[in-house]
Structure 1
Amino acid sequence: MLQANRLVRWSATPERWPRPLLAPTHEKGVLLGSHTVNLERSDSDADPVLEAGKQHNVRLAAPAFDGLLLAPDRPLSFWRTLGRLTERKGYRHGLALSGGCLTPSIGGGICLLANALFEFGARQGWHILERWGHTMEAVPPPPGALWGMDATVAWPYVDLVMAPREGAVRLGARVSDGKLRLSIHGAEAPRTRSRLWSEDESLLELAEGTLRINRVVRRVEDTSSGAVLEERTIAENRRRLLNPEARKRTCLTCGETACHARVEVPRSEVRAP
């Protein structure tokens, strides 16, 4: 029902979810910003099969976003741009959060791309029209880092939708040397700057585990006058923390066979390097 509702809304309100359109290749313009993310996790808890699937999925998905024309009246919709992730399109099993567990899923790990796009757009001062945070924490944030700059996605109704603030831009997205590289080009230098910080950070102990809570606040200022154009919360986060043992347990290692979320990974992927 949720999927059908969102697909109908795509057709009924195309101004919110426009079809992807490529920018003219000869109009690259001024580099407004760039963002680089490592594909490989820095911790040792990742399952090597699902980690390899994640990296494959991000490499396969990134070209769909490369060269996109975006504007205040032409937002970026993650799913409208990428489409459904299927085996027929070449996607593999990667790590996903489902039913409170770490499970293999076709297209799993694609949230790395959504996370990077959200953080990049948020730091550029883009309008955040739709964003959903993860409800579990599989990888703890680095000490001192601004956490909660992530975006979970689920076809097609849990989406990431953002729009540039100042004018038309060309989005760049590519994978090289084990890194996802994002860039934005526009017609002229930016007229605004953004600052982000965390508020109301806390740990809440509940029966189901510990929750990490915060709000990410953003202030957008005019670069010439310093006037504050906007100050608002752009992300509210409540994540259940997984203990070290749970972060390593997936359907590939768990002995539970009756679990509703259990997924079998084909031998061809298990043997993949």
Structure 2
Amino acid sequence: MRAVIVQEPRRRSALRMRLGTAFFCLRRRLRWHTGGLRFARLRPEAECPCLWAEHSTPLLRQLRGEEMALQRNKVTNLRLALSRLDGLTLAPGETLSFWRAVGKPTRRKGYVEGMLLRNGRVAAGIGGGLCQMTNLLYWMTLHTPLTVTERWRHGYDVFPDSGRTQPFGSGATCFYNYMDLMVRNDTEHTWRLTLRLTETHLEGEWRAGAPCDRRYEVYEKEHYIQGEYWGGFTRHNTLYRRTFDLEGTLLGDDFLIENHAIMMYDPMLPGNSPESLPAS
């Protein structure tokens, strides 16, 4: 009898999660079809010769055992997603939806188990690792006049800051399909997203039909770490962006986002203490 009492709430909880996921996925699909949005598409004829932003991130971190195998699988998942995103163009007024472009990652499409985070724990899941793509896309977009209309912050700070080149919280997580990354073109020019995989890195560019006429610096404020009553730590900051013309005149200094995350490592251990980074 005791076993039944313990398992029943778990069944109900799992059922609620499945029903909730189905509801939010359906609502997203309805938004795609009835929201009045015009979406990015391939236009080989569009000329976008002018580089505005570029970035690259390493494909592998030195982790242990099974986690390393999941990272290698991630490369397969990134390659499949890249094939749906590379070359997409944004005409004025159009929106790039990451999940609408990539589609649902399934075994049938060739996706494999990569590394996911579930409730702060590393787990295996089909399509795992695609947040590296949304992280890259989000960071590049912050260095253009394109408008981010939807972004979800990471709920966990996974790795210590060793080798970090961007401020904490400058990425974007994703989960099919209701945690999306969406970018709208509010400029008068057409933009093209270019992506590629090398042996060691995921690389991307935003190019446009007009020359780059400004420069951006993304930086953090109000960075602090807080000990929590349950014994762990949380990390917080806000990100801002300065915009300059090519002569160095400041055009704007704007708030971007606020971040809060549970730390999955001990910041009190030697070498783990996070440090604020200068503007990008």
| Fold agreement, TM-score > 0.5 | yes
Does the 8 A contact of 2:87 with 2:194 survive in 1?
Answer: yes
Counterpart in the other structure of 1:10: 32
Give yes or no for the alignment of 1:226 onto 2:246.
no
The letter of the residue matching 1:81 is A
Q: 1:201 to 1:46 in 2, by over 3 A?
A: farther
Question: How many residue pairs align between the two structures?
Answer: 241
- Aligned counterpart for 2:84 among listed residues 64, 89, 101: 64
- Write the distance in 1 (CA, Å) between the matches of 2:256 and 2:215: 15
Q: Residues 89, 144 of structure 1: CA spacing in aligned structure 2 closer, same or farther, 3 A cutoff?
A: closer
1:47 to 67, 75, 91: 67
TM-score between the two structures when normalised by the length of structure 2 = 0.79
Q: Structure 1 144/110 Cα, relative in aligned 2: closer, same or farther at 3 Å? A: closer
Shift of 1:43: 5.2
- Give the TM-score normalised by the residue count of structure 1: 0.80
**Equivalents in 2 of 1:215, 1:71: separation in Å?**
31
| Residues 27-71 of structure 1: per-residue CA shift (max 9 Å, x gap) | 242223321111111555871221111111112211211111114
> Displacement of 1:238 after TM fit?
0.9
Secondary structure, in 3 states, of the residue corresponding to 1:123?
coil
Taking the TM superposition and a 5 Å limit, the aligned residue runs for 1:180-259 are: 180-208=202-230, 209-223=232-246, 226=249, 228=251, 230-243=252-265
Matches of 1:143 and 1:200, distance apart in 2: 21
SS of structure 1 residue aligned to 2:80: helix
2:196 corresponds to 1:162 = no
One-letter code aligned to 1:205: G
1:224 shift after superposition: 5.6
CA contact (8 A) 1:125 1:194 kept: no
Residues 1:12 and 1:243: Cα distance change in structure 2 (over 3 Å): same
Deviations 1:137-161 (A, max 9, x none): 2222336742211100111111111
The answer to whether residue 161 in structure 2 is matched with residue 141 in structure 1 is yes
**CA apart distance, 1:220:** 2.4
* 1:104 matched to 2:127: no
| Bigger radius of gyration | 2
Deviation of the 1:25 alpha carbon? 4.3
Query: Which residue matches 2:171?
Result: 150
Counterpart Cα distance in 2 of 1:159 and 1:101: 21
Task: Verify the 8 A CA contact 1:114 1:150 in the aligned structure 2.
Answer: yes
Structure with bigger helix share is: 2
Percentage identity across paired residues of the two chains: 28
The alpha-carbon deviation at position 165 of structure 1 amounts to 5.2
Identify unmatched segments of 5+ residues in structure 1: 245-273
Say yes or no: does 1:113 pair with 2:136: no
Query: Distance between the aligned counterparts of 2:89 and 2:53, measured in 1?
Result: 15
CA contact (8 A) 1:71 1:163 kept: no
**Coordinate RMSD, CA, aligned:** 2.2
Structure 2: which 5+ runs fail to align?
1-22, 267-280
Query: Which stretch of structure 1 is more off in the superposition, 82-91 or 145-154?
Result: 145-154
